[in-house]
Amino acid sequence: MNIKNKKIFLITGTSKGIGKSIALYYLSNDNNIVIGCSRSKKTIKKSNYYHYQIDLSVDKGVDDLIIKIKKDFEHIDILINNAGIASMNHLLLTTSDKVNDILNVNLKSVINLTRDASKMMKKSKYARIINISTIASHLNLEGESVYVSSKAAIEAFTRVIAKELYPLGITVNTIGPGPVKTDLTKNLPEPKIKKLLSQLSSQEFTTPKDIINVLDFYIKEESRLVTGQTIYLN
């Protein structure tokens, strides 16, 4: 595989939704290679796309992914931690199993993958880690206490590891999108959606293009001093 002068992306949760939109955008540039992963099978057919069907919520999933990537690629330039799950339930209606699922996917897998991927990113000319959070953590949105807590933890994680990884040439930032029209929001009652949108300055849905706009800003070489930040799409 000829990867010389190619920018290599690792994006989680690429089978659908935001992750798939992000992957397709960066795949449109032939100088990019995108490594994607999800619990589901491959849904993107591009010659510069490589997919691994893996469950990142378990430690072995992260270990297996990194082992497979190392066999084919010498380094990673951009890591986008996009995969996540939510539970739109009151705390009193949230089971222990659901709490564990949310924390394992949204927090534990991000920490483990970031740690292991960072070791492959040290070989990059300049490297970027971008985590996907949510505007809900900024709004302290009721009815999503566990989900919001997991994402707030990611934002704190971003601020700390930005200091730890900058000496290695790696910047770390977060994006907090507003609600996006995905399978998750389609199943929400209309009054809940209206209430959520009413708390935003724009009172509009976030689109994948809005998220990609911030990704491009974080990724460009001129953003070398932008690290430890969270930009909310409000």
* 39 and 101 Cβ atoms separated by less than 8 Å: no
Active-site residue, from 49, 52, 147, 232? 147
Angle among Cα 30, 181, 33 to the nearest 5 degrees reads 15
Alpha-carbon 166 to chain mean position:
19
147 is catalytic: yes
Tokens in use for 129?
């880690």
Measure the CA–CA gap between 88 and 129, rounded to whole angstroms.
Answer: 28
Contacts of 207 (CB under 8 A, 6+ apart): 180, 181
Measure the CA–CA gap between 47 and 41, rounded to whole angstroms.
Answer: 16
Known catalytic residues are: 147
